């Protein structure tokens, strides 16, 4: 049953209107002024308020403002003594949903209230649907968030596993991939690349030599010079890594960067002989980080050469073998005191 509140300072009017409404099946109550009406509205819910405009203490217009704060969906019908268009416009502008002109006939009152009750019901149903929709939306977001975290965790596990597989077979490059990944991420950050690219280059770095698991271990750890055939067998790791990662459902840029990490800007690299404009941004970084880290570390066939030699190498061939912007960023990093980090960092891959 719809609840109606009638507000009028004239007792006879409010009693008559309440009687009309009760006889029509509504639950009707009356208030002698706006202050009483307001406290009644705060105590329990009403669907429609029928209020006079001019009343002592607080006017019907001020009561309307209070009603809107309590509940925007309560329908307010203003009662006015002046039957002009101007009065109607003013009533609606002040927030009324409808208006009645005095003297009020029973039929017009019931028709107007019936209409207001219908609108209130529709408005309540709409609000309920919106609340339900918001609830389901939140539930869905929480589920997606949970699944994303779980996928990220699985991916990190896969990356970690792949890193350790390579390093178990090739102890001389133990830590090399991790350091290359960390240096690549630091270069990308220095170049103001987006967070996503920083994570992608770090990940690509962590597994860039994964293709080496297809190369015989004795060749990987052989001290001294390699024969041309052995060199060819090692070179194939870039393409093999790309093939393996392509099947792992990781972001495409990771596989591409792995395939291109031995390319050179002048086209003298392998496996495709790409030039600078065809090498992807992630690989451009990986190429420089790989060379710098390799020169700084000990190898079976030579001792560590140190950071000065590494920076001299990339600086001397900047724009020829290595991308100039990447070389500048890398050199700037070390000039500012960067030292290569060995530990594995958390990664957040785009899914
Ligand atoms: Fe490599």
Residue ranges per structural domain of the chain? 3-131, 170-335
Q: How far is the CA of 273 from the centre of ligand 1 (A)?
A: 15
Q: How far is the CA of 209 from the centre of ligand 1 (A)?
A: 5
Element (H, E) at 65: helix 60-70
Contact between 95 and 64 under an 8 Å Cβ cutoff? The reply is yes
pTM for this model (two decimals): 0.65
Per-residue pLDDT tens over the stretch 11-48? 999 999 999 999 999 999 999 999 999 999 999 999 99
Beta strands in 131-185, from DSSP E residues, in sequence order = none
Cα separation, 282 vs 280, whole angstroms: 6
Cα separation, 30 vs 15, whole angstroms: 7
Cα separation, 172 vs 335, whole angstroms: 27
Percent of the chain's residues with pLDDT above 70: 96
Q: How far is the CA of 238 from the centre of ligand 1 (A)?
A: 6
Q: How far is the CA of 246 from the centre of ligand 1 (A)?
A: 17
Q: How far is the CA of 257 from the centre of ligand 1 (A)?
A: 11
> pLDDT value at position 321?
97
Contact between 263 and 272 under an 8 Å Cβ cutoff? The reply is yes
Cα separation, 220 vs 226, whole angstroms: 10
Q: How far is the CA of 261 from the centre of ligand 1 (A)?
A: 7
The region that residue 306 occupies, defined by phi over 0 for left and psi between -120 and 50 for alpha, beta otherwise, is left
Torsion of CA 11, 17, 23, 26, to 10 degrees: -110
Mean pLDDT, residues 273-287? 97
> pLDDT value at position 172?
66
Q: How far is the CA of 244 from the centre of ligand 1 (A)?
A: 14
Cα separation, 326 vs 323, whole angstroms: 5
Q: Is the pLDDT score of 152 beyond 90?
A: no
Pick the CATH number of 3-131 from 1.10.730.10, 3.40.50.2300, 3.40.50.300, 3.10.129.10: 3.40.50.2300
Q: How far is the CA of 322 from the centre of ligand 1 (A)?
A: 15
Q: Is the pLDDT score of 84 beyond 70?
A: no
Rg, C-alpha atoms of the chain: 38
> pLDDT value at position 323?
98
> pLDDT value at position 49?
96
Q: How far is the CA of 240 from the centre of ligand 1 (A)?
A: 11
Q: Is the pLDDT score of 351 beyond 70?
A: no
**Mean pLDDT across the chain, nearest whole number?**
90
170-335 and 3-131 share a CATH fold? no
Residue 51 carries which DSSP code?
Answer: E
CA distances from 282 to 238, 305, 351 (A): 15, 25, 17
Q: Is the pLDDT score of 161 beyond 90?
A: no
Cα separation, 304 vs 223, whole angstroms: 14
Per-residue pLDDT tens over the stretch 300-345? 667 788 899 999 999 999 999 999 999 999 999 999 999 888 787 8
Q: How far is the CA of 254 from the centre of ligand 1 (A)?
A: 14
DSSP 226-252: PPHHHHHHHHTHHHHHHHHHHTTT--H
Q: How far is the CA of 233 from the centre of ligand 1 (A)?
A: 12
Q: How far is the CA of 177 from the centre of ligand 1 (A)?
A: 9
Mean pLDDT, residues 200-213? 93
> pLDDT value at position 195?
93
Q: How far is the CA of 272 from the centre of ligand 1 (A)?
A: 14
Mean pLDDT, residues 140-164? 87
Domain 170-335 matching CATH 3.40.50.970: the answer reads: no
Please tell me which residue, 219 or 134, carries the higher pLDDT value.
134
Q: How far is the CA of 268 from the centre of ligand 1 (A)?
A: 15
Q: How far is the CA of 188 from the centre of ligand 1 (A)?
A: 19
> pLDDT value at position 192?
97
Contact between 201 and 188 under an 8 Å Cβ cutoff? The reply is yes
Cα separation, 274 vs 266, whole angstroms: 8
Q: How far is the CA of 345 from the centre of ligand 1 (A)?
A: 20
> pLDDT value at position 289?
98
Q: Is the pLDDT score of 252 beyond 80?
A: yes
């Amino acid at each position: 049953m719809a609840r109606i509140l009638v507000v009028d300072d004239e007792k006879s009017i409010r009693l008559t209107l309440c009687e009309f409404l009760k006889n029509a099946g509504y639950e009707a109550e009356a208030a002698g002024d706006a202050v009483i009406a307001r406290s009644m509205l705060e105590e329990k819910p009403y669907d429609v308020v029928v209020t006079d405009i001019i009343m002592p203490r607080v006017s019907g217009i001020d009561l309307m403002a209070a009603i809107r704060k309590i509940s925007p969906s309560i329908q307010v019908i203003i009662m006015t003594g002046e039957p002009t268009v101007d009065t109607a416009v003013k009533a609606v502008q002040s927030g009324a949903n409808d208006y009645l002109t005095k003297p009020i006939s029973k039929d017009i009152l019931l028709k107007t209230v019936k209409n207001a009750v219908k609108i209130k019901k529709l408005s309540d149903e709409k609000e309920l649907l919106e609340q339900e929709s918001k609830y389901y939306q939140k539930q869905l977001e929480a589920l997606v968030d949970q699944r994303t975290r779980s996928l990220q965790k699985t991916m990190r596990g896969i990356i970690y596993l792949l890193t350790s597989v390579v390093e178990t077979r090739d102890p001389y490059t133990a830590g090399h991939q991790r350091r290359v990944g960390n240096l690549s991420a630091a270069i990308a950050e220095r170049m103001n690349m987006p967070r996503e690219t920083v994570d992608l280059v770090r990940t690509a770095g962590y597994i860039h030599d994964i293709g080496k698991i297809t190369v015989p271990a004795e060749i990987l750890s052989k001290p001294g010079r390699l024969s041309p055939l052995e060199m060819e067998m090692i070179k194939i790791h870039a393409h093999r890594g790309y093939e393996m990662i392509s099947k792992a459902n990781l972001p495409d840029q990771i596989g591409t960067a792995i395939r291109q990490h031995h390319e050179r800007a002048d086209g003298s690299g392998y496996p495709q002989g790409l030039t600078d404009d065809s090498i992807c941004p992630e690989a451009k970084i990986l190429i420089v980080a790989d060379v710098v880290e390799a020169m700084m570390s000990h190898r079976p066939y030579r001792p560590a050469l140190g950071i000065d030699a590494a920076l001299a190498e990339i600086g001397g061939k900047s724009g020829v073998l290595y991308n100039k912007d990447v070389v500048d960023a890398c050199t700037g990093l070390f000039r500012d005191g960067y030292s290569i980090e060995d530990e594995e960092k958390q990664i957040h891959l785009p899914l």
